[in-house]
Every structure is written in C-alpha cells, then in structure tokens.
Amino acid sequence: MQDMRSTDVLNPYKEQQISYYDKSTRKVLISDREVPFPEGKLIVSRTDLEGIITHANQSFVEMSAYSEQEIIHAPHYILRHPDMPRAAFKDLWDTIRCKKKWHGYVKNLRKDGAYYWVYATVIPNIRAGKIVGYTSVRRKPSRLKVRECTQLYAQMLKEEQNQ
C-alpha cells in the first residue's frame, strides 16, 4: 500500500508508521480534524475472505475521501487509524470467522488525514454453509459512546504498546 502523501492532507498533520497484520507497513499522515458522520446515511462495504474491499456504496467512497478506483480491491486496513487498538480488530475477525455478527465503534482514517467515527455491524455472508465474504454497515455513533471509546481505546493502545 502506498504511503499517504502530504499533498492530499490538510495542515497541520503528524506522521506515523503503521504495520499491518499482513506485515506490510505504510506511512500515514494524521490531522486532528473530525468529519461528522453524514445524517441519514449508511456507509456500506463488502469484502472477500481476506478483508479486500469488493464493493463500497457512494457514502463509503465520499467519507473515505478516496476515489472508488482507489478503494475497490484495496485491503480494508486502508482506513485503519493509528488510534485504534489491535485488540478491536482481533475481536472483529475472531467473531466473524465463527459465522457471528460483530458490532463495534471504529475511528477511521480518511485519505486527507481527517477521521470519522462509525458504529459498525459486520456480518459474514454465508452461502451453502460457507463464508464467502463479509459485509459492514455503519451508522452514526452516539457522542457519548464516541467519548467512552476514545478513552477506552487510548488505554488499550497504551497497554498494547507496553507489551
């Protein structure tokens, strides 16, 4: 995955190197600007078994700030924000691989370095008893939950960094 480019990102921003589960790494540029979840919209994406994006609705594309071409066939971690603890995604994958539904609050990173919070429901798509992919539908999260998760995730991240 390509590094984020300073020309795409509004000032001021800070730089961070992220390493992903598949061992690839990427430089991300993060600004402290939140983009509010669009009123009355659902943000939807589908992935294959490895979390590669196979479909994204219009709201998904708009909120990510990437073009549809950049998003389709990209790994879903293209949106991973460095403030998200690994444990949240481990819980997501452990749950959906067991054919169960996962709910959770996620802070996502946009192409322009800004972030947005979602309340996500991720479900496995099952055909003839086998998982063929996954779908995530995201709604506007309550501000109370966003505040709680901001604190909780910061604590979890600190513990992960001390391990």
Q: Determine the interface stretch with ligand FMN among 8-16, 28-36, 128-136, 152-160 (rule: CB under 6 A).
A: 128-136
Q: Is 76 in the site for ligand FMN (CB under 6 A)?
A: yes
Ramachandran class of 73: left when φ > 0, alpha when ψ lies in -120 to 50, beta otherwise: left
Which one among 63, 106, 114, 149 touches ligand FMN, defined by CB under 6 A?
Answer: 106
Single residue of 79, 114, 117, 140 touching ligand FMN by CB under 6 A: 79
Cα-based distances in Å from 32 to 9, 86, 106, 124, 132: 11, 21, 16, 33, 37
Which residues sit opposite 116 in a β-bridge?
Answer: 108
Minimum CB separation of residue 57 from ligand FMN in Å reads 13
∠ CA 146-147-150, nearest 5°, is 80
Count residues contacting ligand FMN (CB under 6 A)?
A: 17
Residue from 66, 43, 52, 55 nearest 21 by CA: 52
User: Cβ distance 73 to 53 under 8 Å?
Assistant: yes
110 binds ligand FMN (CB under 6 A): no
Q: Which is nearer to ligand FMN, 13 or 77 (CB)?
A: 77
CB-nearer residue toward ligand FMN: 8 or 131 = 131
> Does the footprint of ligand FMN cover residue 51 (CB under 6 A)?
yes
* 47 makes contact with ligand FMN (CB under 6 A): yes
Asked whether the beta carbons of 44 and 59 are under 8 A apart, the reply is yes
Retrieve residue 27's tokens.
């430089």
User: Judged by CB, which is closer to ligand FMN: 9, or 78?
Assistant: 78
Binding residues (CB under 6 A) for ligand FMN: these are 20-21, 45, 47, 51, 76-77, 79-80, 89, 92, 106, 108, 122, 134-136
